[in-house]
Amino acid sequence: MIAVIKRDGEREEFSHEKIVVSCMKAGAPLDVARKIARIVECDLLSRGVAEVTTKDLMGSVLSLLRRENEEWYQNWIVFDRAVKKRKVES
């Protein structure tokens, strides 16, 4: 199991589906969203990561999303700033 350390310090189990849903909200089609989630999860597992911060997780997802499509990446940034009131480091 991989634990995700949230911004408030709370821990929760890594969820492949949360990445899929977030990528789709940014505009990525289901197949691309699943591919990104799978790549991130496989990377964490192959490195033997037991826990990851949401910031590091988001950085990995955004990097892959940007490689796939700049518009989807920008959509995520706009959503994070407008709705979640966070500043995303690009």
- The pLDDT tens digits for 18-40 are 999 999 999 999 999 999 999 99
Give the model's confidence band at 80: pLDDT under 50 very low, under 70 low, under 90 confident, else very high. Answer: confident
Lowest mean pLDDT among 31-35, 58-62, 77-81: 77-81
What percent of the chain has pLDDT above 90? 82
Asked whether residue 90 carries a pLDDT value surpassing 50, the answer given is: no
Average pLDDT estimate for 46-64: 96
CA distance 2 to 11: 10
Asked whether residue 42 carries a pLDDT value surpassing 80, the answer given is: yes
